[in-house]
Amino acid sequence: LDYIGIKTYTAKGALAGELRIVGLFTSTAYTRSVMKIPYLRSKAETVISKSGFDPHDHSGKALINILESYPRDELFQVPVPILRKHALAILGLIERPRVRALVRVDQFDRFVSIIVFV
């Protein structure tokens, strides 16, 4: 099952609780463009803007392609700073192909995600 947790806060900013949504993502969450899913679009736009690349030039288009083809379950879970680091590392593999492992530890220490390029 997929799990989405949304933290709720009091007016003073203290953590008040969590809204939990448990279920399965629809097939469109896995097949639709990253730029058409609000949560993923926000992540992708942040990565693109912080990369400094123009989305219409060669590197910008390559970065968008990387984000579109990034494993979707991983894309939903990865924090933006790690996504940015991994996307730029993948972009570097286009110019200089080599073996590369990109590692991410789950924020709850339940698992480790490793994407390997050979």
Q: What is the pTM of this model?
A: 0.82
Is residue 9 predicted with pLDDT exceeding 80?
A: yes
DSSP string, 96-115: S---EEEEEE-TTSS-EEEE
Neighbours of 84 (CB within 10 A): 19
Delimit the domains of the chain by residue range: 34-117
pLDDT at 26: 86
> Tokens 């680091």 correspond to what residue?
85
Q: What is the pLDDT of residues 71-94, one digit of tens each?
A: 999 999 999 999 999 999 999 999
Could you report the per-residue pLDDT of 15-55, keeping only the tens digit for each?
999 999 898 888 888 899 999 999 999 999 999 999 999 99
Q: Among 51, 105, 100, which Cα is nearest to 79's?
A: 105
